[in-house]
Structure 1
Amino acid sequence: MSDLNSKQRIYLNKIQNEPEFWKLNKLRLSILFSIGILNGFSVVYADDTQKLSNTQKIKLTQSSVKQDPVIQLDPVVVTARRREEKAQDVPTPISILSPKTLETQRISRVEELQQALPSINVALQNPRQSSIAIRGLGNNLASDGLEASAGVYLDNVYLGRPGMAVFDMLDIAQLELLRGPQGTLFGKNTTAGLLNISSKAPTFYSDNTLEISAGERNYFQTKGSFSHALSNTVAGRLSFYKTIQDGFIYNVYNGDKLNNTDRQGLRGQLLWQPDDSISVRWIADYNKQDDSQGTPLIYSKGPIFNHPIYGANYNRYTDNTRQAGVSFEDDNIYSKKTASDASKRMFVEQGGSSVEANWTLDNGNKLTSISAYRIWNFTPTNSDNTVADATRNIGVAVRDKQYSQEFRLSSEKNANFDWVTGLYYFQQNIKNHAYTYYGADADTVMLYHNSALREDISNHATHILNDRSSHTYGYADTKSYAAFGQGTWHVTPKLDLTAGARLTYEDKAARIVRLAPIGGVEISTLPLVQQNSVRAQLGAYDSAKLKISDTGYAGILTASYQLQPESLLYAIYSHGEKSGGFNLAVGSAPSAGAESLKVKPERADNYEIGLKQNLFDNRLQLNSNLFWVNVTDYQTTGTQLLDNGTYTTILGNAGKVQSRGIEIDATAQPIKGLTLNFNGSLNDTRYQSYKNAPVSAFASIVTAANSQDLTGQRVYGVPKWSANFNFRYDLADYQGWQPYVSGSYAWRDWSYGNLDNSKESIIKSYGLINASFGGRHQIADHAVDVSLWIKNLTDKTYVTNVEGFMLGSYNAYLGQPRTIGASLKLQF
């Protein structure tokens, strides 16, 4: 029993030495021994905790003979096909992060996943303006009326907004990245892939952790998790976190430090297991964020050129803002300084509840029901990021709620044929409120470049935008119904054929209403040219009710062949669709019509071939695959410059897009205690047809062009090459302590930062280095882990996202600078 930890030995001694214990704990014992006692405790689930689990993902073993440790990688169990299987036996490209990996690399937020996973790109300005792209597909920022191409699931519940995943990842059991269309078995059709996040379930034994971390810029984080049996049939788990840190962008106007962090969250769970055949898991969570995350800096002020009227070296941004009294010139990404006379805040409140029930029938089939409800509320406070009184507050507040219900029936593991089938319902109700509060300098900053108004603006004789406010209200309601099924035929012991399909019907409705402008000088008293300008830019508009009904299809055909016992070759064809949507912004609708706010469905055909290998007596796991994805009517969002100097959201279909490339994911354990991982991708994603793309600020300002042809160009937000390397080395025990050291390097190629593919928006390539070292000490049933860590070792200034701002300029959002800190973790 040398492989047992102290808690497991105490538990087993009670079973062996106390007969009354058998009577009081029949449920625990039935679970314990039904898994099987073979050869000491052997974990087969990638939890990295080496603890006993009531979910039957470990095997109890018993042996009086101590064996030498075997140097090999542990198998990992996933549910990519809605049943528990070893990841290496699943014929699909999938990358997995365990709790130990997340902890070692100090990955706690979704936007950090691109430093650990291949073919994923996370763009984050703020929780609303966020997106997850897989294989270059899914860069859809700030689109309230459009679903993501890459789906996110939390404990088997689809998250209808990418921003619902913007929180600290708490008490995670496993994180899986599935690449390619996944619509057959997962609740909503996803044409690019999905991120599947699973939290740790309640346990019928003590599983408690408490961790405190502190670091530079007053970084402080505390998080904990407490789990135990509440009765013979009920277990509970409670988890929490609180994270704060000062910002690193200095506002020279008032001395504030912007881009600070203030997040907190709580999750409670109950698990009811009256017997081995039934389990019901209830989860409720709440997360809140109230800080200045998402503070931008000027990345480019737009084109400098010889203007036919205003002369040489003309720049619209500089010329207009200087006219309003702005003289600060040190606002760039390297100075990390800005000058703003208005506040920058955002508030996010989200949470939900789900109940998952699993019932194993007498014939071995398994019936699953998942019921869920979630809310997501977002309220921002933004400005023009200058000391001019141009825009006092601008933003889009969102209120979102969703309901979902899934019923699933899966067969018992069968030597000939396995199958899964089910029904799915999803309802989402989203409302947004776009608002702009203009100040006394609004005409100067936004319209001074207009030659017809320039002289009057200089003489303070215009009242077009000054001291007015504009409010637009929109909603989008979705009802989605689906039936799905998938089966695997084990043709021979080595050959499997899989086929699956999903039929989805969706009804969507939306409406966008812009109210007449409020405040300012009475419009009817203005000169006619100013009256027309006010109405053109801020006039009332009502789209009336818009409707979309779509029937979508998803399917998959897979063939896999076991070349050798540890080598799996597979080929996949999959088809995915997601329904159309709406642009919940007025945009060009007053002139182009309300139908221009609609977006057609997106369809993807994916072809790939892959090889999964376990080599050198399972010391090396090497997975590689080639993929080719053709997308029709790719849904994409961006921004386009308007005459008033501001940008509007552009939502449309980019014709055809092609994504093709290579992915590699390798994990090795060459010696005891040392684990190495390398993953990388070549991702060539291009527009095959996009003839009416938004034009760059340079072309718009200099040539007055309003569209361009991006056919053959790279899709924005997609680095062609990316690579991640990380290691962890657990050294031999030293005086009761087990020291360890870890490190990682993540590199990303350059990419375009905005839909217009302008050179001014290019995000340069960068590499990040993280490192940590520490030690773990076991004290009876308790453990202490102390570590020192550093993130962004070289203090690299790097850009994570770019957006078109005002007057032809571009804003950039920066990743975190170097942070050094320490953590103390207790397990008891």
Structure 2
Amino acid sequence: MSFSAMKVGLLSSVFTGTAMFAAPAAHGQDGPAEAEQQEQGSTIYVTARKREEDLIDVPLPVTVATQEQLNRDQVYSLNDLQRITPALEISQTSGGESNGGGRLRGVGTGVFNPSVASSVALVIDQVPVGNMSFPQLFDMAQVEVLRGPQGTLFGQGASAGVLNVTTRAPVLGEFGMNASVDWADKGTVGSEVGEWVINAGVNVPLGQIGALRVATQFKEETGLQHSVTTGQDNVIQDWGLRGRLLLEPSDALTINLNAEYAQNTSDGQTFFAVAIAPNATTPFGPPGATIGGISTGAYTDPAGCAMPVIDERAEFYCENDPSYLRTEVQAYSAVFDLDLSDDLSVTSVTSYRARRFDQEHRDFSRILPAPAAQQNLTREDANGLSQELRLSYVGDTFDFVAGGFYQDFEFDRIPLGGVFGSNLPGERVGFSVCNPGGTFCPVGNQFTDELTENRTLALFADATVQVSEVVSIFGGLRLDDYKNTTTVQTFPAIPGNAGGPNGTAGTFVTEDSNISGRIGVSFQPNPDTNIFASYSRGYKPPAVGTNPAGQLFQLEPEKANAFELGARFNIGDVQLSGNVFYNELLDFQSQTSVFVGTALVSQPLNIDQIESYGFEVGAVGEILPGWVVNAGYQFNNITFPSGYVGDDGGNLGGTQFLNAPRHKFTLSSEFSTPVTESIEFFVNANLVYKSDVLLAARADDRFRYPAHELINGGLGIRDADGGWNLSVFVRNLTEEREPTAYLASTFAGRPDGGIRAWPVAGLTARVVGIRAGFEF
């Protein structure tokens, strides 16, 4: 039995076994989430300022997705999060970018190398993930999306905002279990992808002072893409296991210990499949322009790749050898909360996280037969240690949070076996362009070792002062001290590159310190109204880039000036919000693609200035009995600066920025009504509308995906007390073909070999299936 089959069997056993325990008790007691909701009513609590507060009292632009919404909207990955709020876009590709891939209000990480800090911080249970994100999310209690610079409390990786994720915590004195299964079959009732998602969790009380929660998720996706060379569908698997231990040895001390393991394997998924055919019909266009029918035929001709069709579904591709990638994450954290008095407390957050990414073989080929670009036997190791210590005070007219933060991060690219410089199949290490199964390599095998180490020290303080019964002033400062050391070495040496005979491009050290912060005012004439305004200074530290000649250079620090005017109102059980924003980005860290010979190479750069302005409106709550809604709309004008030249040499000045729709609307809604005394019917919908989106820095309109809607939904029946549920679901009902990214393809070293796309299930392809679950 394979390891994957063992995992499915284990999780299925957990589901079946827990169902046997659950059956007699499902109506006897409320689950932890339901009990908490009953206790708190319709109030939404957040930790956007590192202390628990009613959302109405928080003078920041925050969108909240509750556990109930995350479940009904089938949010299982970072990519799925972009469906919960109009401000967020995710541009992940292979297994999760090291920098996260998140963009808020059009601002995100524009350079994907390990020395670059993220623009949108991912924080899980108070722990900053940094440059070690992972695509899978499971057993979540709540997600808060904080927009605008949040560096005062969350650090240098939060220059555009924060995704603040809270997982389900252990509950003292209660035994509880939950499990669910989502299933879809490719080709059945219109589903274009096969899918298994199995979730399970158990809460075990440990005497009077402790509780343990163990949760797991297994997700398998098949058939998003199909290799015409091997005849096989690709398979993507995610598996995660988390244990949370809660100890309360006294009324004053709370201890939370977390341990997590997760892995992702991608078997057969290609690196950007051809989705848009070359745009010329003549065999050869003008010099340096299009090749047209020649390159189209190379994909569809039976003697070549023999793809049955080229379309935006990006399903079919050809390859010399199937790609196989594996990502593994381990994470550990310890959070100690000690109450020194009724008003004063101290919190310590210690964490260690390690991420390993193996590229056993990645095939970049598009056309057969031909020498194939490929990456072989390469391993990337990253690990980070962080420590935060903070003091919190909550008084009648004065609140503050102050503390210190330390983080150490290391990234190293190393061989995964193999022989340096060998062109023999099975021995190649690193990048090469070689004849299939042979030793002829037009571009010989080369491995680039990159070692990046950085250290961050920070002091921070954030305070709120009540200056009258209705007016408060809030603000804070953060002092960051940063140092990064990057060494790049190539084996064997590249002729003409910088460095000595061993291929060392050099070691580059960059250091910087910065003071950032925010200041604002909040006006609360009554408990159901909050009107606020603020100014924030965002900061992202310098990084190290490599130019095409192999020389290292400094990417300048990125800074932001952000202004916010917003308001929140409680009207019955509904909270309405709105805000206007303006953000000026200085020395935005980005990258461009340049041709070096016939190879397309990415080079980091700073863009002098980018401006973003717009407004947002939102509504969340129960509109009518049984009808809940979380809806939002954003208008965001963020454009390339005047005269900016795209990767294709075209003028992008004044056009809407990358991965930043000017208009976006999201809706998550559910209506339920009783069928019998113990059973209710429900129907839910998750809708997303986007105006056109630029998916590559190119002036060619083919790289701009048009305005569209994404329609997801489900309907079913469930126990009125939440004990069990059964439903059918559909994601991407109308078969929209939006990918997560576009990439220009080349043919014979010329620019038009069509356009490649990275598809995502539920975004590019439709998924239809059934769900079943229980909780007690």
Smaller-chain TM-score bracket? 0.7 to 0.9
Partners of 1:221 and 1:244 within 8 A in 2: yes
| Partner SS for 2:660 | coil
Show the counterpart of 1:297: 273
- The structure that has the greater radius of gyration is 1
Q: Decide whether aligned partners of structure 1 residues 314 and 475 sit closer, same or farther in structure 2, where only a CA change above 3 A counts.
A: same
Is 1:50 paired with 2:34? yes
CA displacement, residues 503-553 of structure 1 (integer Å, 9 cap, x when unaligned): 0000110011112279xxxxxxxxxxxxx8x989x9974221100001022
Partner in structure 2 of residue 211 of structure 1:
180
Q: Does residue 209 of structure 2 align to residue 229 of structure 1?
A: no
Structure-2 change in CA distance of 1:688 and 1:231 (3 Å)? same
1:158 aligns with 2:128: yes
Q: Structure 1 residues 825, 146: closer, same or farther in 2, change over 3 A?
A: same
Equivalent pair of 2:115/2:484 in contact (CA under 8 Å): no
Deviation for aligned residue 1:314: 5.5
How many angstroms does 1:89 deviate by? 1.0
1:822 maps to which of 767, 770, 775: 770
Contact 2:564 2:579 (8 Å CA) reproduced: yes
Partner Cα distance (2:301, 2:509) in 1:
46
1:196: how far off? 0.5
Q: Does the 8 A contact of 2:299 with 2:306 survive in 1?
A: no
Q: Does 1:715 align with 2:685?
A: no
Q: 1-side partners of 2:289 and 2:690: how far apart?
A: 40
Q: How does 1:538-557 map to 2 (within 5 A)?
A: 541-557=503-519
Structure 1 345/210 Cα, relative in aligned 2: closer, same or farther at 3 Å? same
Give, in whole Å, the separation in 1 of the partners of 2:433 and 2:115. 26
Partners of 1:397 and 1:345 in 2: how far apart?
12
1:635 maps to what in 2?
Answer: 589
Equivalent position of 2:382 in the other structure: 400
Is the 1:139–1:717 contact (alpha carbons within 8 Å) kept by the matching residues of 2?
Answer: no
Matched, 1:515 2:491: yes
The secondary structure found in structure 1 opposite 2:69 is helix
Does the residue aligned with 1:178 lie in a helix, a strand or coil? strand
CA contact (8 A) 1:301 1:315 kept: no
2:685 aligned with 1:743, yes or no?
yes
Contact 2:278-2:290 at 8 Å conserved across structures: no
**Contact 1:655/1:689 (8 A) holds in 2:** no
Q: Is the 8 A contact 1:715 1:752 kept in 2?
A: yes
2:564 is aligned with 1:608: yes
Q: 1:389 to 1:183 in 2, by over 3 A?
A: same
Contact 1:739 1:775 (C-alpha < 8 Å) held by counterparts: yes
> CA separation in 1, counterparts of 2:301 and 2:713?
48
Supply the AA of the counterpart residue of 1:622: L
Distance in 2, Cα, partners of 1:481 & 1:501:
14
300, 322, 329: which one pairs with 1:350?
Answer: 329
Report if the CA contact (8 A) 1:661-1:683 is conserved: yes
Match for 1:503: what amino acid?
L
- 1:657 aligned residue: 610
Q: Is the 8 A contact 2:183 2:195 kept in 1?
A: yes
Distance in 1 (CA, whole Å) between partners of 2:698 and 2:122 is 27
Partner SS for 1:722? strand
- 1:548-574 Cα shifts (integer Å, max 9, x gaps): 001022111110101443221100100
Distance 2:355 2:370 in 1: 32
- CA shift, 1:811, in A, is 1.5
**1:751-792 Cα shifts (integer Å, max 9, x gaps):** 21113443332223321111111222268xx81211221111
Q: CA 1:268 to 1:477, structure 2 compared with 1: closer, same or farther past 3 Å?
A: same
Report SS of the residue matched to 1:288. strand
Distance 2:473 2:616 in 1: 23
Equivalent pairs, count: 713
Residue in 1 aligned with 2:647? 695
**Deviation at 1:134?**
0.4
The residue aligned with 1:36 is: none
2:530 maps to amino acid: L
Matched AA of 1:827: E
Q: Does 1:685 align with 2:638?
A: yes
Q: How many angstroms apart in 1 are the aligned matches of 2:215 and 2:305?
A: 49
Question: In the alignment, what sits opposite 1:251?
Answer: 227
Whether the aligned pair in 2 keeps the contact of 1:128 and 1:378 (CA below 8 Å) is no
- The reply on whether 1:148 has 2:118 as its aligned counterpart is yes
SS for the counterpart of 1:247 is: strand
In 1, the alpha carbon distance for the partners of 2:597 and 2:347 equals 55
- 1: CA distance between counterparts of 2:543 and 2:185? 44
1:676 maps to which residue?
629
| Amino acid corresponding to residue 373 of structure 1 in structure 2 | Y
Quote how far apart the aligned CAs of 1:666 are. 1.0
Q: CA deviation at 1:77?
A: 0.5
Once residues 497 and 466 of structure 2 are traced to their aligned partners in structure 1, the CA distance between those partners, rounded to angstroms, is 67
Q: Please report the RMSD computed on the Cα atoms of aligned residues, expressed in angstroms.
A: 3.1
- CA distance 1:139–1:48, shift in 2 (3 Å): farther
* Greater shift in the superposed pair: 315-324 or 289-298: 315-324
1:710: Cα distance to partner? Answer: 4.0
Cα contact 1:468–1:517 (8 A) shared by 2? no
In 1, the alpha carbon distance for the partners of 2:46 and 2:382 equals 31
The correspondence of residues 243-392 of structure 1 with structure 2, limited to 5 A, is 243-258=219-234, 260-292=235-267, 293=269, 295-300=271-276, 304=280, 326=304, 328=306, 330-334=309-313, 336-362=315-341, 364-380=343-359, 381-383=361-363, 384-391=365-372
**Cα offset, 1:625, TM superposition:** 0.4
C-alpha spacing 1:651/1:669, structure 2 compared with 1 (3 Å): same
1:99 maps to what in 2?
67
- Residue 431 of structure 2 is matched in structure 1 by 436
CA separation of 1:761/1:143 partners in 2, compared to 1, >3 Å: closer, same or farther?
Answer: farther
Structure 2 CA distance for aligned equivalents of residues 632 and 359 of structure 1: 41
TM-score where L is the length of structure 2: 0.86
Q: Residue deviations 1:697-722, cap 9 Å, x none?
A: xx4xxxxxxxx664433221211111
Q: 1:572 aligns with which of 508, 524, 534?
A: 534
SS of corresponding position for 2:70: helix
Deviation of 1:676 after TM superposition, in Å, equals 2.2
Partner residue, 1:446? none
Question: TM-score, normalised to structure 1's length?
Answer: 0.80
* More strand by percentage: 2
Measure the CA separation in 1 of the matches of 2:165 and 2:55.
Answer: 15
Aligned-partner Cα distance in 1 for 2:170–2:300: 60
| Runs of 5+ unmatched residues, structure 2 | 1-23, 187-193, 415-428
Task: Give secondary structure in 2 for the equivalent of 1:658.
Answer: strand
Q: Deviations over 1:488-515 (max 9, x none)?
A: 1101111010120000000110011112
Note closer, same or farther for the CA distance 1:542–1:420 as it changes in structure 2 (3 Å cut): same
In 1, distance between residues paired with 2:122 and 2:177? 28
Please give the secondary structure, in 2, of the residue aligned with 1:246: strand
- Cα displacement (A) at 1:187: 3.9
Note the C-alpha offset of 1:303. Answer: 6.5
Match of 1:184, SS state, is: helix
| 8 Å contact kept, 1:441–1:466 | no
Partner amino acid, structure 2, of 1:153: V
Paired residues of 2:477 and 2:515 also in contact (CA < 8 A):
yes
Kindly tell me: are residues 97 and 498 of structure 1, through their superposed partners in 2, closer, same or farther at Cα, counting changes over 3 Å?
same
Shift of 1:629: 0.1
For 2:261, what is the secondary structure of its paired residue? strand
CA gap 1:659/1:397 in 2 versus in 1, 3 angstroms: farther
Q: Take 2:743 and 2:276, find their aligned partners in 1: how far apart are those partners? A: 10
| CA–CA separation in structure 1 for the residues paired with 2:374 and 2:26 | 58
After superposition, the C-alpha distances for 1:624-662 in whole angstroms (9 at most, x for unaligned) are 100000000001134333322x22122111110111111
Partner of 1:762: 704
Q: Tell me the residue number matched to 1:529.
A: none
Deviations for 1:348-373, whole angstroms, at most 9, x for unmatched residues?
10121000000000353010000000
Query: Cα distance 1:101–1:299, how it changes in 2: closer, same or farther (>3 A)?
Result: same
Partner of 2:218: 242
Could you tell me whether the CA contact under 8 Å between 1:788 and 1:821 is conserved in 2? yes
Structure 1 residue 479 corresponds to structure 2 residue 479: no
Judge conservation of contact 2:95–2:264 (CA < 8 Å) in 1: no
